[in-house]
């Protein structure tokens, strides 16, 4: 397709090891629910050590893309590789923050116990969570500024606090590549700032983070790399290259009010 920008221009982002395999490689990924395709022929090659936004209108398949990469929904076709190897062999390098609404917040556990779940694969089958692991989970809570609420029942946390402990659970997974499904949905301003600080720290540590995102106005500020999705990949690449009015139009179609605001955002970003 004309005007589509693929991520050939990765050298800016990864000058040190040009030959290293990309953090995420996706080829011909197609996902269908009940014979209706949700994602068509997705191709991606995303370099490592960056924060990548995934944007697109409702129903564009943003969450489905993450779930398909993580093998949570069956693929009709396609290949997914993490750091050059099939996903199934790289599971231990992957961390995941599901949508907050996807779980029952009335479940009888505390914030600390929830965060400790991120350590389960290190602990291994049938072994209990030890004091050492609880200390590590508490550190995770500290990183998101929630240490004082460690013993609180999860149902008694606010939306932003719930999102923070989800993030803390992913942090203690100690993964090299993270997939976060709408971590900013319904959070307060201070939580949003805290999450952004964590994303930047993860990138500085050389990790790669994928974030499903809704707010086009903050794209420039939050991300290095952008995947614009509308059932297929409209554009993927460094934000400065792909976040253009033309691509936005292809991604969002005729939703003009949104577009105008986004174009303003682009203007701000390039200033």
* Binders in 86-125 for another protein, by CB under 8 A: 91-92, 94-96, 98, 102-104, 107-110, 113-114, 117-118, 120-121, 123, 125
C-beta of 218: minimal distance to another protein in Å? 14
Residues 249-268 that bind another protein (CB under 8 A): none
**Near another protein by CB under 8 A, which window of 4-12, 38-46, 64-72, 239-247?**
64-72
Distance of closest approach, residue 156 Cβ to another protein, in angstroms:
9
Interface of this chain with another protein, residues 172 to 211, rule: CB under 8 A: 173, 179, 186-191
Six token digits for residue 259: 């577009």
Buried b (16+ CB within 10 A) or exposed e, 54-87: bbbbeebbbbbbbbbbbeebebeebebbbbeeeb
CB count, 10 Å around CB of 119? 20
Half-sphere exposure of 209 (CA within 13 A, CB side): 29
Distance CA 178, CA 29 (A): 19
Residue number, 30 or 90, with CB nearest to another protein: 90
Residue of 8, 52, 38, 42 lying closest to 211 (CA atoms)? 52
Q: Rounded to the nearest 5 degrees, what angle is found at the Cα of 90, between the Cα atoms of 139 and 59? A: 85
Question: Is 126 among the residues that bind another protein (CB under 8 A)?
Answer: yes
Report d(CA 261, CA 217) in Å as an integer. 7
Candidates 13, 32, 70, 258; binder of another protein (CB under 8 A) is 70
Radius of gyration for the alpha carbons in the chain, expressed in angstroms and rounded: 19
Nearest 5°: the CA angle 43, 173, 116 is 140
Least distance in Å: CB of 250 to another protein?
29
Rounded to 5 degrees, what are φ and ψ at 243?
-85, 70
Provide the minimum distance between the beta carbon of 268 and another protein in the complex, in angstroms, as a whole number. 20
User: What number of chain residues touch another protein (CB under 8 A)?
Assistant: 43
Tell me which residues in 23-52 interact with another protein (CB under 8 A): 34
CB of residue 235 vs another protein: minimum separation in angstroms?
A: 26
Chain positions contacting another protein, by CB under 8 A:
34, 67, 70-72, 91-92, 94-96, 98, 102-104, 107-110, 113-114, 117-118, 120-121, 123, 125-129, 153, 158-160, 169, 173, 179, 186-191
């Amino acid at each position: 397709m004309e005007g589509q920008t693929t991520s050939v221009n990765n050298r800016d982002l990864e000058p040190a090891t040009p030959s290293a395999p990309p953090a995420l490689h996706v080829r011909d990924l197609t996902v269908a629910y009940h014979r209706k395709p949700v994602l068509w022929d997705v191709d991606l090659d995303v370099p490592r050590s960056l924060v990548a936004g995934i944007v697109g209108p409702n129903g564009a398949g943003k969450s489905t893309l993450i779930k398909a990469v993580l093998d949570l929904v069956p693929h009709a076709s396609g290949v997914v590789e993490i750091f050059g190897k099939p996903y199934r062999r790289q599971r231990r390098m992957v961390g995941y923050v599901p949508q907050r609404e996807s779980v029952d917040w009335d479940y009888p556990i505390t914030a600390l116990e929830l965060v400790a779940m991120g350590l389960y694969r290190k602990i291994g089958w049938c072994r209990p969570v030890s004091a050492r692991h609880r200390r590590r989970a508490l550190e995770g809570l500290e990183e998101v500024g929630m240490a004082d609420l460690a013993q609180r029942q999860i149902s008694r946390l606010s939306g932003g606090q719930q999102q923070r402990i989800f993030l803390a659970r992913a942090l203690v997974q100690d993964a090299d590549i993270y997939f976060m499904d709408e971590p900013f949905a319904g959070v307060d301003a201070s939580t949003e700032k805290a999450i952004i600080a964590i994303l930047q720290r993860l990138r500085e540590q050389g990790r790669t983070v994928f974030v499903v995102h809704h707010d086009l106005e903050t794209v420039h500020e939050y991300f290095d790399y952008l995947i614009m999705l509308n059932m297929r990949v409209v554009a993927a690449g460094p934000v400065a290259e792909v976040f253009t009015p033309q691509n936005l139009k292809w991604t969002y179609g005729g939703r003009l009010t949104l577009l105008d605001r986004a174009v303003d955002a682009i203007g701000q970003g390039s200033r």
